A = this chain, B = another copy of it.
Amino acid sequence: MGTDPKHIVILGGGFAGVYTARYLEKLLPPEQASITLVNRENYWVYQPMLPEVISGSIGLTNVVSPIRRFCPRTNLVMRDVEDIDLRNQVVTISPGFLPRQLELKYDRLVIALGNVTNFYGMPGLIENALPFRTLADAMVLRNHLIHVLEEADVEENPEQRRKLLTFVVGGGGFSGVEVMAELNDFVHAVKKNYLRLRHEPHRCVIVQAGDRILPEMSEHLAVFAQKILRKRGVEILLNDRLFSATSERAILKSGTEIPCKTLISTVPSALPPVLQKLDCAKERGRLVVNTALELKDWEGRVWALGDCASIKTVAGKAVPPTAQHAIREATAAAINIAASLRGGKRAEFAFEGLGTLGSLGHGAAVAQIFGIKLSGLVAWFLWRCIYLMKMPGWNRKIRISTDWLLHMLFPPELAQTKVALEYGIKNQHFEGGDIVFRQGDLGDNVYVIQEGECEVLREKDGSQELLATLGRGEYFGEMAVLSDRTRNATIRARSAMNVLIIPKHDFNKLRESVPAFGEAFSELAKGRAVGGPAHSSIGALSTQELP
């Protein structure tokens, strides 16, 4: 050989990325190739089992596999990809502890960055819908579910309690169905530990754009799945989709509104921003590759695979974004990369899929394998066997089997494993008529209107007096925060409204350190106090009542 090893850089640590690294480790000796994989996490998620984290039937860290152990010769960089320069063959990586970016030069590049959730054009979804892709998403959802159950148990108001006990999933594909099935099982199982919720019904709703769920499967199996889910109390709304959301409800395209505190969206997806800005051919929001998985115009240098690539088999069939396909894509890409470095036969992607499997929760599933359709307990058993078999390594296999066994013997975990406090400046969306806060509430946040209008209302003896209307760029809520008293007016959105929410904690830190920031709000208060008739009445809820 005599020459330096070539640098192969793999972006993304999903099925496609880690299996490419693993095959390359086998195909190319260290003196021929150094392999680097960039991924935000140091583990790789076994996606089909992720929904089981919700009910705790598989322990948190058992649905993931450390990349370092799966690809022992690969250099892992646990950071984000910020830029790809195809011309100069350089990838820019986000900073670590020090504010300096890292640049990785490559001889061969594999792009397997998957896709991201994209709520563009759907007001309030980004603020209120929980995604379900990563282990972090699954943990956040699980903790959120426990939080709403805990709050429902304390809540006196029946309408509020119903809202806390309503769970909506947008998207009726595999992911949406499996998430809902696990969620429903979990809530059923743990509700008996809540003294006041034991006999209270909860509501589960799947919203699906098509005229049936599970479009990935035959109609026969989808109808079976619908029947099972409905029998278990899940409502299925067909031919409808999520349109917008507030912190209090989901709003569908048909106009249907579902009051809820839990909204999960498993659709829609888009290319990650770093690929959106990449200067190369794309179709239907994916990177264009040939049947050797080479990126168009960069053949022999760059490969794209997994969910971010638009792949067709040799027979011309579009390849779906599933794990079984990603693994075969990885094999093909690894063979072709090795061939590009040392010559040899190239591989064309021709895998047509073995079948599909979907879990419906305890003791039920649907399966369609080698043309055979199965449903119910047999399919469920098959589901567990196949995915357990495919889980790499004895360590994980044994841990998951143990988890499953213990889950059958004991009730599910109920501990909330929350780490972070929910501080921080954030955005929120309100629809016309929504109450932002009520007179008498605690002053926990300051609001800045970014879009839309709201009304300031004083409630007295059961009637409401309109004190003022506020619009874009105006602030409200500062007085109760400044004075540490309760709100002395109600704020109601007049139209769809977007606000920036500054929590009291951050507001006070900023006010103390940046005087101009605090003054902006004091000025406003003064303006309200000395203004015209409408303004002076708002004054009543501001400076005049300061201690």
CA distance in complex: A516, B448 (Å)? 12
A45 to chain B minimum Cβ distance, whole angstroms, is 9
A410 within 8 A of B: yes
Within 8 A of B (CB), among A246-260: none
Supply 16 A–B pairs (Cβ within 8 Å), ascending by A. A42-B146, A66-B415, A68-B194, A69-B414, A76-B153, A78-B151, A96-B154, A97-B164, A135-B417, A136-B417, A140-B419, A398-B409, A423-B424, A425-B509, A450-B513, A514-B517
Of all A-B residue pairs in the complex, the 7 with the closest CB atoms, nearest first, are A516-B520, A420-B420, A43-B415, A66-B414, A78-B150, A68-B193, A99-B441
Residue in contact with A60 in the complex, picked from B64, B417, B441, B516, CB distance below 8 Å: B417
Flag whether A59 is at the interface (Cβ < 8 A): yes
Q: Which residue of B lies closest to A261 (CB)?
A: B97
> Which B residues are CB-close (under 8 A) to A406?
395, 398-399, 402
Indicate how many identical chains form the complex.
2
A459 interfacial by beta-carbon distance below 8 Å:
no
How far, in whole Å, are A146 and B76 apart by their CA atoms in the complex? 13
Distance between Cα atoms of A59 and B60 in the complex (Å): 9
B64 near A415 with CB under 8 A, answer yes
What residues on B are CB-neighbors of A155 within 8 Å? 96
Tell whether A151 pairs with B96 under 8 Å between CB atoms, given A69-B193, A520-B517.
Answer: yes
A509→B500 contact, CB < 8 A? yes
Interface residues as binary, A395-414 with B (CB distance below 8 Å gives 1, 0 otherwise): 10011001000100111011
What B residues does A431 contact at CB under 8 A? none
Is A160 in contact with chain B by the CB < 8 A criterion?
A: yes
Name A510's closest neighbour in chain B (CB-CB).
Answer: B425
A527 CB, nearest partner CB in chain B, Å: 13
A473 and B41 contact, CB distance less than 8 A: no
Which residues of A (494-525) have their CB < 8 Å from a CB of B? 500, 502, 506, 509-510, 512-517, 519-520, 523
- Give the distance in Å from the alpha carbon of A46 to the alpha carbon of B517 in the complex: 45
A77 near B: Cβ within 8 Å? Answer: yes
B517 lies within 8 A of A61 (CB): no
| Residues in B whose Cβ lies below 8 Å from that of A12 | none
List of B residues within 8 angstroms of A261 by Cβ: 97
When distances are taken between beta carbons in the complex, the residues of chain B under 8 Å from A97 are 151, 164, 261
Residues of A183-224 at the interface with B, using a CB-CB cut-off of 8 Å, are 193-195
Q: Is A391 an interface residue (CB 8 A)?
A: no
Docked complex Cα distance between A418 and B136 (Å):
6
- Given A77-B154, A398-B406, answer yes or no on A42-B416 (Cβ-Cβ < 8 Å): yes
CB distance from A414 to the nearest CB of B (A): 4
Asked whether A411 and B517 contact (CB < 8 A) given A195-B75, A406-B399, the answer is: no
Does A437 count as interface, using CB distance less than 8 angstroms?
yes
Q: What bracket does the count of chain A residues touching chain B fall in?
A: 35 or more
Residues of B within 8 Å of A517, CB to CB, are 510, 514, 516-517, 520
Q: Apart from A66-B415, A68-B414, A395-B410, what 9 extra A-B contacts exist at CB < 8 Å?
A: A41-B416, A75-B153, A97-B151, A97-B164, A100-B440, A101-B442, A398-B409, A424-B424, A425-B509
Contact (Cβ within 8 A) B100 A441: yes
Overall SS of chain A's interface: mixed
Q: Is the CB of A193 within 8 A of B416?
A: no
Q: Does A95 contact B (CB under 8 A)?
A: yes
Nearest Cβ on chain B to A491's Cβ, whole angstroms: 12
The yes or no answer to A72 lying at the interface (CB within 8 A) is yes
Query: A76-B153, A419-B140 are contacts. A442–B100 as well, Cβ < 8 Å?
Result: yes
Q: Does A102 contact B (CB under 8 A)?
A: yes
A415-B41, A420-B420 known; A425+B506 contact, CB < 8 A = yes
- A61 engages B415 (CB within 8 Å): yes
Q: How far is the CB of A66 from chain B (nearest CB, A)?
A: 4
> For window 81-115 of chain A, which residues contact chain B by CB distance below 8 Å?
95-102
- Cβ of A95: which chain B residues have Cβ within 8 Å of it? 442, 444
Query: A361 near B: Cβ within 8 Å?
Result: no
How many Å lie between the Cα of A78 and that of B441 in the bound state? 20
Q: Tell me the nearest residue of chain B to A437, going by C-beta.
A: B99
Q: A68-B193, A448-B513 are in contact. Are A43 and B416 (CB under 8 A)?
A: yes
Interface string of A124-140 (1 = CB under 8 A from B): 00000000000110011
Let me know if A56 is at the binding interface, CB within 8 A: yes
Which residues on B sit within 8 Å (CB–CB) of A64?
Answer: 415
Looking across the interface, which residue of chain B has its beta carbon closest to that of A449? B513
A148 smallest CB distance to B (angstroms):
8
Q: Which of A46-72 contact B (CB under 8 A)?
A: 56, 59-61, 64-66, 68-69, 72
Cα-based distance from A135 to B415 in the complex (angstroms): 10
Interface string of A433-458 (1 = CB under 8 A from B): 00001001111100010100000000
